[in-house]
Amino acid sequence: MIGLASDHAGYELKEFVKDYIIQKGYACKDFGAYSTDPSDYTDYAHPLAEAIESGAVDLGIALCGSGNGIGMTLNKHQGIRAAICWNAEMAGLTRTHNDANILVLPARFINREDTEKMIDIFLTTPFEGGRHQRRIEKIPVKM
């Protein structure tokens, strides 16, 4: 199950992403936004992050205009490793080295062809583990 979230700036590309991943055979859960009406990315980022942390969805794809706002919000959650990507190589590295669980896309700066490539790589690339595992274990803030 793939979770999706965006604000109004990412809405149109999120709808494209939704159709694309369904066409690829993935189930998805759309956490919003549901139109291009002005909205706050935080309202959709937090439910996506919580769904990943609880195991209700396996991976996520999140979008806003630059990717920064929604990415910052997602990464406030201890169990989230959201990575902003703008090309296929970044999408692959963020899975192999960082075990990212949310692909963050800057909707105003990428095209649909590159979006498809990033999604394909993100959803099929495994985490390498090894030396990267110890780094992943150090990410959560210990209270």
Could you say which of 8, 28, 46, 64 is catalytic? Answer: 64
Q: Read off φ and ψ for residue 81, nearest 5 degrees.
A: -130, 85
- Which of left, alpha, beta for 93 (phi over 0: left; psi -120 to 50: alpha)? alpha
Could you say which of 46, 77, 85, 97 is catalytic? Answer: 97
28: annotated active-site residue: no
8: annotated active-site residue: no
49 cis-preceded (ω within 30 degrees of 0) = no
Q: Is 29 exposed, middle or buried (0-12, 13-18, 19+ CB in 10 A)?
A: middle
- Report the catalytic residues: 64, 97
